[in-house]
Amino acid sequence: MKNAGTIVIVVVVGFVAFFGFPFYYNIGKANEAPKLKFDTPAILEWEKVNGKKECVEPKEFMRGEHMQLLNQWRDSVVRNGDRVYVNSQGRSFTMSFQNTCMNCHSNKKDFCDKCHNYLGVKPYCWGCHIAPKEKQS
Amino acid sequence: MAKVTTPKPAELVTSIDLKPSGKEWMDTPAEIKPGTFCWGAKAKNLNIVEFPNARDWNPSEEDWKLPENWQEIFLTGMKNLLDKYRSFKVFMDICVRCGACADKCHFFIGSGDPKNMPVLRAELLRSVYRRYFTTSGKLLGKTAGGRELTIDVLKELWYYFYQCTECRRCSLFCPYGIDTAEITLMGRELMNLLGLNTDWISGPVANCYMKGNHLGLEPHAIMNSIEGMIDDIETITGIRINPSFNRKGAEILFVTPSGDLFADPGTFTCMGYLMLFHELGLDYTWSTYASEGGNFGFFTSNEMAKRLNSKIYAEAKRLGVKWIIGGECGHMWRVLTQYMDTWNGPADFLEVPVSPITGTRFDTSRSTKMIHITEFTADLIKNGKLKLDPSRNDDLIVTYHDSCNTSRGMGLLEEPRYIIENVCNHFHEMPENTIREQTFCCGSGTGLNASENMELRMRGGFPRANAVKFVKDRHGVNMLANICAIDRATLSASMDYWVPGVRVTGVHEMVANALVMKGEKERETNLRGEPLPGKEGN
Amino acid sequence: MKILLPLFVVVALVVIAFAGAQANLQAFFGIVVPYAAVAVFILGFIVRALKWGSSPVPFRIPTTAGQMKSFAPWIKQNKIDNPSSRLGVFARMALEVLVFRSLFRNTKTELHDGPKLVYGSEKFLWLAGLAFHWSFLIIFVRHFRFFMQDVPFVIKIMESLDSFLQIGAPLLYLTDVVLVGAVTYLFLRRVVMPQIKFISLPADYFPLFLILGIALSGILMRYFTKVHIVGVKGLVMGLLSFSPVIPEGIGSIFYVHLFLVSVLLVYFPMSKLMHMGGVFLSPTRNMANNNREVRHINPWNYPVHVHTYEEYENDFREKMKKAGLPVEKE
């Protein structure tokens, strides 16, 4: 690198190649936030009975903390044999990923995977659990 | 000037504290202590080489007799250097002060003065750079690490740039290769814009400019000096050597530092060259015009260094030689390796060096056309061209000091070792952190080897001497070999001070002692006139 | 003061961004500031590179750290520490940039009774430096999952390697721990080690605090006070596609994180952090030690006033003749 010109070219090329990668990688791809579906038969059933769509905890809480909650459930069930979860409203649920969570959210592709793929997250739930058969209405 | 006393070694060691504490360095002006600086340059010497602000001055006095606009001169000079050297600009900008260099400097290790940590030595100038050449420094001043260029700051810069021997040991450890030698070169160049040179540097520079060598030896004096050596050689070997001077048409020009012509033990090294070349029947000549390999100009400014260096190629051209051999010297070889060809080349009037004895072609010097004498001699030994009797050096238990410049500015590590191993039987290396590329400076390079600077020199020489002491205690080492004229002068003093009983020698002195010459009489003594091993009774 | 001032500045930056987000200035902190910061970073970097580049390299001055290429094939060259070819220089630079070769040499000098100087091995700075820079790089590249519509495979692999211990939920990134640990060490050595404390400036503490702030705010929003992460990606993607949006409900802590990153970007080109670019331009490392083989050209080399042989002979002609030296003019 003998002179200013070469150096600047190297710097610019370096910037374009490295920092610019996200730009040209994204070209032609729409900036679309994932849209989750809450229309499985079980959810619609719940709505019919309870008058609204709801989860074991409020939506905002579930969005940020579902991974911690699932871990908590796993530890409670596997290590302590305790299968009853009492939520913030005092209602009881059976702690079961397969039978409680996935009963409602039986649309892994349109629910779990949407955000996880969008953000490049690969949860290890499915290392042990078998994904349910996709159900949507 | 008052006589300066140097503290005893024990006192000196007790004064070292490698853990700096106390006030912020920016707020602490330098105290210019007797024994740790060189006298100021004399007007007459600066005038000879047309340097600015020539006047007699004394650094220990308050008034340094600076020009009215010294600040402007300094800052303009700094801008010029920044524009001319990318190294300077980059080194001013990128230091992160990680401190890896801090305890690598022989002057810091020997003094504990925090401003001798290479990082801080550079920061002294960097703070000025930030204040005057960066936006943040201009706006935020001290918060951004900037510092006004006051007279105290100038004096501090002067004091500490003459406490650096440009040995580059710090540069070896720096993750960005920041080279304090480069910064000191710039710093001293700025000092010279204001006439702030030292007597010990400016005197040799003026001598070298006018008379061809630092010592100011005139043509006949050089010849006399060598005559004296020839007489001694005849006494010892029975062989009369007849070297030539300024001879046109010789195959080789030989250039060595003038220190070798003048004082022990350098003169013994010089006798070594003479005997070796004679034994080979080498077609070579000395020059009285280019009678200096060293270059004190390198310690003042780039331009001055080039002016002095120009004589070597000019003389080679005038004499019509084919190529050049250079003697044992340290900074001389940094200059010859990294600067000479760029300044004064291309030496297209010369030929690629080929040893007339072995036929070896020195392709690695095909542009500069100048080889190091240890390359020349190592090649001779390897090809079995020298008859050597290493037992003549059996009284010597040798260790080898790598010169800073041949190690870190060239990489000449194995050639001298190969020679040493072939000319003596007892060779022991110093600890690995103190040799080869990690070698320590003698403590008096870059023109700091003035007697008034003795305390600083002994402090700077401490790490080297301490490593010598280690091998003296362990193996009984009594001789410190080296390939540098400044080493031969300064290590002698440093050994007497720190490790009495260890003497100093050039490699070619040992070569000549071991060299069995054709037709020589049975030698009774070595080149120093001392009885050879086994001849003590005679 | 030189420690407290930068700490105070970083704390103030945090407060500003937090208050801004609370006061509904999301558009400013989420769009205006990041755009401006990236622009300053890129332009600043180029300007600095131009400044360096505009000064030539007059001399070839490698610091040689091993045996040179010898005339003799029987002397083995250290081809990396004292390179004579482009390939050697490339290897030397690669080792320098990727694994901090020079810093690996580091020693610690101690003065013992005797007096005896001891040079011990000192690898902590090297280790912490390496840990810091590499984890920073991995964390940065890992963030590309927020910058790309379909997260590429390599980023996913990196992600799963970084969290392979599978601790907690969300999975703990090892680099998060390493980065905070390394930055903390680098800070502590500037406080505890006398030599390093003495040489440290506010400009040394500030980036440490700033990077620590960035790391902690990131950790906080990943593991503790959650943010609306889908919204975060929406915002970032909006910035990248030049159609910025401010999604609802992203926590304020994200704006703190983004603001600190923006400050880092702005600060970068005008600070010592430019060692990132400068290391490539260091002439003691990026040049081959082949000076005696190939002439280096100095673009500003100019003729100098020399004392010629003729002048010399004029000065000494009589003495030279008397000594029997040949002269050009009788």
What CATH number is given to the structural domain containing C163? 1.20.950.20
Is residue C208 a part of any domain in this protein?
yes
The CA distance from B525 to C7, in Å, is 72
Q: Residue B525 — φ and ψ, nearest 5°? A: -130, 165
Q: Give the distance from residue C109's alpha carbon to the nearest chain B alpha carbon, in angstroms.
A: 6
Cβ <8 Å between B363 and C201: no
The CA distance from B249 to B364, in Å, is 24
DSSP state of B99: -
Residue C294 forms contact with B (CB below 8 Å): yes
Domain ranges, residue C266: 4-297
Residue A11 forms contact with C (CB below 8 Å): yes
Mean pLDDT of C306-321: 96
The CA distance from C103 to C123, in Å, is 8
Chain C residue at shortest CA distance from A61: C226
Q: Give the distance from residue A63's alpha carbon to the nearest chain C alpha carbon, in angstroms.
A: 8
Each domain of chain B, given as residue ranges in start order, spans 9-197, 205-514
Mean pLDDT of B493-500: 96
Cβ <8 Å between C49 and A11: yes
**Residue C20 — pLDDT band, cuts 50, 70, 90?**
very high
Q: Which of B434, B444, B455, B451 is nearest to B490 (CA)?
A: B444
Is residue C14 a part of any domain in this protein?
yes
Is residue C13 a part of any domain in this protein?
yes
Helix ranges restricted to H, B327-478: 331-338, 340-344, 373-382, 404-408, 414-423, 454-475
Is residue C310 a part of any domain in this protein?
no
Radius of gyration of chain A (CA): 22
Mean pLDDT of B250-261: 95
Which residues of chain B are within 8 Å of residue C72 when distances are taken between CB atoms?
Answer: 360, 375, 378-379, 382, 415
Chain C residue at shortest CA distance from A27: C241
Residue A9 forms contact with C (CB below 8 Å): no
Is residue C321 a part of any domain in this protein?
no
Size of interface A-C (CB pairs under 8 A): 100
Radius of gyration of chain B (CA): 23
C194-to-B143, B145, C198, C199, C200 alpha-carbon distances in Å: 21, 19, 6, 9, 10
Chain A residue at shortest CA distance from C225: A64
State residue C270's pLDDT score: 93
State residue A23's pLDDT score: 81
Please give the full DSSP string across B232-287, using - where no structure is assigned.
HHHHHHS------BS-TT-SEEEE--THHHHSTTHHHHHHHHHHHHHHHT--EEE-
Helix, strand, coil fractions of chain A, as percent rounded to 5: 55, 5, 40
State residue B216's pLDDT score: 92
The CA distance from B456 to B443, in Å, is 8
Strand partners, B286: B245, B254
Chain B residue at shortest CA distance from C319: B220
Cβ <8 Å between C70 and B415: yes
Residue C284 forms contact with B (CB below 8 Å): yes
Mean pLDDT of B234-238: 96
Which residues of chain B are within 8 Å of residue C294 when distances are taken between CB atoms?
Answer: 367
Residue C7 forms contact with A (CB below 8 Å): no
Is residue C21 a part of any domain in this protein?
yes
Which residue among C84, C107, C307 places its CB closest to the CB of B433? C107
Residue C278 forms contact with B (CB below 8 Å): yes
Which residues of chain B are within 8 Å of residue C51 when distances are taken between CB atoms?
Answer: 89
**Residue C330 — pLDDT band, cuts 50, 70, 90?**
confident
Which residue among B90, B247, B366 places its CB closest to the CB of C281? B90
Which residue among B114, B145, B437 places its CB closest to the CB of C203? B145
Q: Give the distance from residue B393's alpha carbon to the nearest chain C alpha carbon, in angstroms.
A: 25
pLDDT above 70 for C205: yes
Mean pLDDT of B395-409: 97
At C60-98, the pLDDT tens digits run 999 999 999 999 999 999 999 999 999 999 999 999 999
Region of residue B400 (phi > 0: left; psi between -120 and 50: alpha; otherwise: beta) = beta
Among the listed ranges B14-28, B142-156, B304-318, C84-98, which one has the minimum average pLDDT value? B14-28
The CA distance from B326 to B332, in Å, is 9
pLDDT above 80 for B344: yes
Which residues of chain C are within 8 Å of residue B117 when distances are taken between CB atoms?
Answer: 195, 198-199
Q: Give the distance from residue C231's alpha carbon to the nearest chain A alpha carbon, in angstroms.
A: 8
pLDDT above 70 for A4: no
Cβ <8 Å between A29 and C144: no
B315 three-class SS:
helix
pLDDT above 80 for C1: no
Which residue among A1, A67, A115 places its CB closest to the CB of C230? A115
Among the listed ranges B155-159, B261-265, B324-328, C290-294, which one has the minimum average pLDDT value? B261-265
* Spatial CB neighbours of C180, under 8 Å, sequence gap ≥ 6: C212, C215, C216, C219
Mean pLDDT of B81-103: 96
Q: Structural domain tally of chain C? A: 1
pTM over 0.90: yes
At B267-276, the pLDDT tens digits run 999 999 999 9
Chain B contact partners (≥3 CB pairs within 8 A): C
Chain C contact partners (≥3 CB pairs within 8 A): A, B
Q: Give the distance from residue A87's alpha carbon to the nearest chain C alpha carbon, in angstroms.
A: 19
At B1-34, the pLDDT tens digits run 456 788 999 999 999 999 988 788 998 899 999 9
